[in-house]
Structure 1
């Protein structure tokens, strides 16, 4: 997800530059900000689709040797 965050930052910078050059009411400025919004929406969508870990899973990630995190095979 860091790749999309980097792209968002790049598009933000570009949108600001375009708006400074062509004016805040220009079609170019509006299009640049639309591109930023689309990337932000995609990042939000990707975050929603990530599987959420339970508190036990997060604990075991941090403490793999804890008794609660032992895995037994039958």
Structure 2
């Protein structure tokens, strides 16, 4: 799947060869009077994903993720709810 792209209803999706994350076309929409979504803006091309928000370092995000994993009894989701 790396380095592959596919046309989708939401635009081209490209799989990054280095981190296997999807580059996606950004769509911003609003709800119209009929309760449907009207697209008000879209990126001209797929946008590179941000692996880690810059509010923490990669190490801090990895630690946070690991703490959740251990808190959730070594599961990747909170199954206790």
TM-score w.r.t. structure 2 length? Answer: 0.23
Higher helix share: 1
Higher strand share: 2
| Higher relative contact order, structure no. (Cα contacts within 8 Å, ≥ 6 residues apart) | 1
